Amino acid sequence: MNIIETVDLSHVYGANTPFERVAVDNISLSVKDGELLGIIGHTGSGKSTFIQMLNGLLKPTSGKILLNGADIWEKPKEIMKVRFKVGMVFQYPEYQLFEETVFKDIAFGPKNMGLGEEEIKERVLQAADFVELKYELLEKSPFELSGGEKRRAAIAGVLAMDPDVLILDEPTAGLDPMGREILLTQIMSYHKKRKNTVIFVSHSMEDIARIADRVLVINDGKAVMLDTAQNVFSRPDELEKIGLRVPQITKIITGLKKRGYNLPDGVLTVEEGFDAIMRLFKSKGVGVCSEM
């Protein structure tokens, strides 16, 4: 079943002024329930505009967004309900923290939903669990936390609304490799446990390759590719033309293949690449003693 569908979705900034610019140009897309969709695109390609339309923060200039089959702009007064169902984590979400304590900040969303105190508490603790935020941090001021903790607290603020669709805009930007790894794992385990839909926007091809079921490539406001990660990353020339690239490991393996080594197609992660090369060594009878 499709949870979100867009039909010929377009957005034009500053329509009818000299500054008119088409940010999103006729994108039609269906996102299946429980899918993990990755979105990649160059800076300014329109991906941020696109995702902001999905939860009703921006009104499309033309086209429709269907959530569970119903047009979200049919009743503009109830757009808030859409925002609770489609949770959005913006870039650098830590800059939105404002409450006295982390607990209160995470509770901001559930409170706006009008939930009871008991349920709010339960949801805050659950969200804190998902992002592995220690309970003793909940009573601290959000401004006392470290950068990575702030980021996780802010993400918990959206998770606490328990959205059916979770949109993350470059959640790993500006984190160190360790923080990146932790966050990615948490997102994947959240997705596995809750079985809800996740839309993940990133500049990092490695991240996308690792977690996405399908990948949408946006260029100049248009959807240029929509396919499985393997298929998208098997078209490196086209990607490079629009300023994107394939994951490094994919590049290495395809490079080796071109030189005549018998390696499989569609290798996306370092682990897969490692296994493939080890198998090749074994088949050639080369003894390697290594661990990874």
Partner 1 sequence: MLRDVTIGQYFPGSSVLHRMDPRAKIVLLLPIIVFIFITKNYFAVALTTLFVFVLMLISGVPVKMYFKSLKMIIFIVLFTSVINLFYGRGEPLVQLGFIKITEAGINNSVFVAIRIITLIIASSMLTFTTSPTELTDALERLFKPLKVFHIQPNEIAMMITIALRFVPTLVEETDKIMNAQKARGADMESGGLIQRVKALVPVLIPLFVSAFRRAYDLAMAMECRCYRGGEGRTKMKVLKMSSLDFFAILIVFLLCIGVISCNVFLPAAVR
* 101 binds partner 1, rule: CB under 8 A: no
Residues of span 137-166 touching partner 1 by CB under 8 A:
143, 157-158, 161
In angstroms, rounded to a whole number, what is the distance separating the alpha carbons of residues 104 and 253? 48
- Which CB, 97 or 211, lies closer to partner 1? 97
User: Taking CB under 8 A as the rule, does residue 80 contact partner 1?
Assistant: yes
Coil/strand/helix, residue 217: strand
Choose which of 2, 7, 30, 84 interacts with partner 1 (CB under 8 A). 84
C-alpha pair distances (Å), 260 with each of 63, 118, 231, 273, 286: 48, 63, 21, 16, 17
Q: Does 112 sit near partner 1 (CB under 8 A)?
A: yes
| Smallest distance from partner 1 to CB 273, Å | 37
CB of 289 to partner 1, least distance (A): 50
CA distance 132 to 114: 25
- The CB-side HSE value for 22 (13 A sphere, CA atoms) comes to 11
Alpha carbons 190 and 79: distance in angstroms, whole number: 26
Q: Determine, following the binding rule CB under 8 A, whether residue 108 of this chain makes contact with partner 1.
A: yes
Query: In this chain, which of 4, 23, 53, 97 binds partner 1, going by CB under 8 A?
Result: 97
Q: Angle 31-154-60 (CA atoms, 0-180°, nearest 5)?
A: 40
What sign for the dihedral angle of Cα 259, 265, 271, 274? negative
In angstroms, the CA 78 to CA 32 distance is 23
Q: How far is the CB of 249 from partner 1 (least distance, A)?
A: 34
Does 96 interact with partner 1 (rule: CB under 8 A)? yes
Residue 251, classified by CB atoms within 10 Å of its CB into exposed (0-12), middle (13-18) or buried (19+), is middle
**60 counts as binding partner 1 under rule CB under 8 A:** no
Does 87 participate in binding partner 1 (rule CB under 8 A)? yes
Tell the smallest beta-carbon distance from residue 108 to partner 1 (Å): 6
Per CB under 8 A, the segment of 78-86, 204-212, 238-246, 262-270 that binds partner 1 is 78-86
Q: Which is nearer to partner 1, 52 or 234 (CB)?
A: 52
Question: Nearer Cβ to partner 1, position 65 or 217?
Answer: 65
- What is the smallest separation between the CB atom of 79 and partner 1, expressed in angstroms? 9
Closest separation in Å from C-beta 248 to partner 1: 31
Among 59-67, 89-97, 251-259, 278-286, the segment contacting partner 1 (CB under 8 A) = 89-97
Q: CA end-to-end span of the chain, whole Å?
A: 39
Residue 111 identity (one-letter amino acid): K
The helix/strand/coil state of 150 is helix
CB of 154 to partner 1, least distance (A): 8
Contact yes or no for 28/55 (Cβ under 8 A): no
Interacting residues with partner 1 (CB under 8 A):
18, 52, 55, 57, 80, 83-84, 87-88, 90, 93, 95-98, 108-109, 112-113, 143, 157-158, 161
